[in-house]
Amino acid sequence: MKRIIFIYGFIAGLVVICSLLLGLALSSGEAPGRAGSYLIMLIALSMIFVGIKRYRDQHLGGVIRFGTATLLGLGIAAVAGVVYVVVWEIYLAMTDYAFIDQYVQGVIAGKEAAGVSGPELEAVVESMENMQRQYSNPLFRLPMTFLEIFPVGLLITLVSAAILRNSKALPAGSSQ
């Protein structure tokens, strides 16, 4: 089970973070939209479903309990989250932590372009500066980065465990 957790978690984490970094590189440092980011996560974290199915079919004779499937899926999601965090931290270190500065400037510029001014703009600036201070603290940044990906993995885990606990759902002879 550990081997499946590490292999599928590593693949999922690398696909998500590499897609995000590619998006950042192609968009000149601007973060990709949330919808696109979550779509990439959904696709990459489908490795949870594949890992649970593979374990069920190859190691358990085509039958898996919901609890076992859930633990396996959570393991894959956790490994994917750790890979995501580690590679993101390497990226931040290599870019001298410029991401947060660019992000804050982009949000403020977007609000200004939308016509926000006066006290409302000052509140946005204050909020962004506060976020920038928090983001510089690894005790804030690391768990927040992990929480970007893990809830998606949790959702996919629960859906996958519910589907695959039924041995008639994609039986062992079906393609993976």
63: domain range? Answer: 2-96+146-164
Is residue 57 assigned to a domain? yes
- Quick one: 90 and 102 in the same domain? no
Residues 169-173 have a mean pLDDT of 76
Residues 56-85 have a mean pLDDT of 96
Q: CB–CB of 5/13 below 8 Å?
A: no
Which pLDDT tens digit goes with each residue over 139-153?
A: 999 999 999 999 999
- Runs of H (alpha helix) within the chain: 2-26, 34-44, 47-59, 66-94, 98-113, 118-135, 138-164
pLDDT at 175 > cutoff 60 = no
pLDDT at 5 > cutoff 60 = yes
Task: Write down the pTM of the prediction.
Answer: 0.86
- Quick one: 30 and 82 in the same domain? yes
- Quick one: 83 and 71 in the same domain? yes
